[in-house]
Structure formats: structure tokens, C-alpha cells
Amino acid sequence: MKKILITGSSGFIGFHLAKNLSKIYKVIGLDNHNNYYSKKIKKKRLSILKKNENFSFKKIDLKNKNELEKVFNKFKPSIVFHIAGQPGVLYSFKNPKSYKLNNTRTTDIVSNLCKKNNIEKFIFASSSSVYGDQKKFPIKEHFKVNPKNPYAKTKIESEKIIFKNLKKSKTDFLIFRFFTVYGSFGRPDMFIHKFLNSIKNKKTIKLHNKGMNFRDFTYIDDVVSILKMSINKKISKKILNICRSKPILTLDLVKMILKIYGVKKANLRETKFVKGEMLKTHGSNKNLRKYFGKIKFTDIKKGIKYTIKNYKLHKM
């Protein structure tokens, strides 16, 4: 049985990945449970993961190289998913140093430990934010990156570090650029869950750029399915988009959520464009399909239905 290490296992994507993989693999999850958003949802995710006997957890700060090295030596993983990172576009302007430390620095430490321990495969979670605003769509991996915020800049730096550290090593590696991942137990700082919370609590939510942004939403189960397949794929040294390649206007998304949730209106306050955000994300998944074959992405309406159903069920 393969042993898999997942950083950021109490985070949104890390949680879903750990939950799925621990059904068939031995998984150790690492997380520092920081204060970027409520620890309540992180603890809830972790309590679900701990129900699986194949899953074990270690609370750790990835910047602590010595402690992390002990985990590698004891657990001896063959696959490492580096999902942890400091998220959030707007917060990155307020505290750029946090992003340097928790994204760039930790990626250097984790990838170097993978090299040192001859890890079979290293898979990194990057972001579509590295592309910034583009003029041509859909966005392909070879397009020139155009970061608009410190968060995106640290993701590009992290990608470069991985190539530098692992290109001549025995460790295969893949870098995935995620496009706006959503689903149950989603991050409360992202629009869909922010909106659901505002409906439930009858509070006002800001609609940036008057809801005229386009986002290429990608359902969490689709992302996890691709990450799971990547374990046994004989490909390395690639950067690939993970996206549905069907962007939706925020205003249309709002109408969809209201209809599915079963409310007629919400307290929306339209605001101007926000610094650091992209007007449109629309990725190409042509290369992904080239390496992974036919992938059926979840329809946005279906994904939102699942998300709202789970939101109501778990009250978060």
C-alpha cells in the first residue's frame, strides 16, 4: 500500500483529497491550523478524516524543517501532495510577508526534502491567479504569466523553485493550476460560501465589479479525481490547468444560488472593481485531456446543488 503525505489536509482541497485517498492508501495529513479563517471548519474537516483508520494527522508548521524531516523519516511517503499555502488575494496586499514565508519558503523546504528522500512523485497546487488578466481565451499553460497580487507572485516563485529543486532529481513532479475550486466544506472567505453565509445570516454581501466578473468554477470532486489519477500517471515536469473551461458571470451565479437555495432575494451591495482581482478566468483544459484522457467535469448547476445540500446538512 502506497504511503501518501498531504500538506494542508485540514484545508478545503487537502481535506477532500485526504478523505478520498485514505480509502485506498495510507495517508498522513499535515496542517498548522492557522487563523486565516475560522478554525471551526478546519477542526470539523479533521474530525471527519480521523474516522478513517488509514489516516493519521500531525499538526506542524511547514517552515519548521527539522520537524518536517522527522515526519518524512518516520512515515516514509512515496507520494507527496503539497496543497498547503497561504490563500487569499486581498489579504496578500495586507500581509505579503506571510505569503513569502507560507508559500515560497515552505515549497522550497518540502520540495528539497522530497529530493533528499527520493520521493517517487511530488504534486503541487498552484493557481490560475498566476495568469492575471489576459486578452486571449481560453488561457493556455504557455501564456505569459501576469500576476496582479502578492499571492499570485508567490505561486509563480513556488513553481520556479520546484523546477530548480527537482528537475535533475529522481522525483517526478507535476504542477496543477487550479481554477476557482468550489464545493462542500468550502473556504468561508470565497464567494460561494460567503454568499451562502450571508443568505443564512441575513447579512449584506459585497458584489465586486457589480457582479460583472467571469469565473471558471471547478467542482472539488473533479479536482480530487484528477489529483488521484496523477499518482499513477507516467508524466513529469509538466504544468497543467485544472478547469471546467466554461466560465460563468457572477450575476448569473448569484441567481442560480438564490433559486437552488430557495430564497427570492439577498442583501447585495454592488461595489467597484477590487484591486488585484481578475476580470475573467477562462482556462483551457486541452493539455489536461491530452494526458488524462476524457474527463467529465461536473455541470455548475449540479455542483452548486451538491454544495448547498451539504451546506445545509452540516450547517457550514
Lookup: cell for 92: 496578500
What is the Cα–Cα distance from 271 to 204, expressed in whole angstroms? 12
User: Which backbone phi and psi does 296 adopt, to 5 degrees?
Assistant: -95, 110
Q: Given this model, what pLDDT does residue 316 score?
A: 64
Phi-psi region of 276 (alpha: psi -120 to 50; beta: other; left: phi over 0): left
CA angle, 155 as apex, 38 and 224 as ends, to 5°? 65
Q: Write out the DSSP string of 245-308.
A: S--EEHHHHHHHHHHHHT-S---EEE--PPTT--SB--B--HHHHHHH----PPPHHHHHHHHH
Q: Given this model, what pLDDT does residue 117 score?
A: 98
Residues with catalytic function: 151
Segment holding 163, helix H or strand E: helix 150-166
Which domains does the chain possess? 3-182+219-243+282-298 (3.40.50.720)
Q: What is the mean pLDDT of each run of 10 residues along the chain (316 residues)?
A: 96 98 98 88 96 98 98 98 90 88 96 98 98 97 96 97 97 98 95 95 93 97 98 97 98 97 93 89 98 96 98 84
Lookup: cell for 248: 460563468
- Residue position matching grid coordinates 532529481: 169
Q: Given this model, what pLDDT does residue 12 score?
A: 97
Segment holding 172, helix H or strand E: strand 172-178
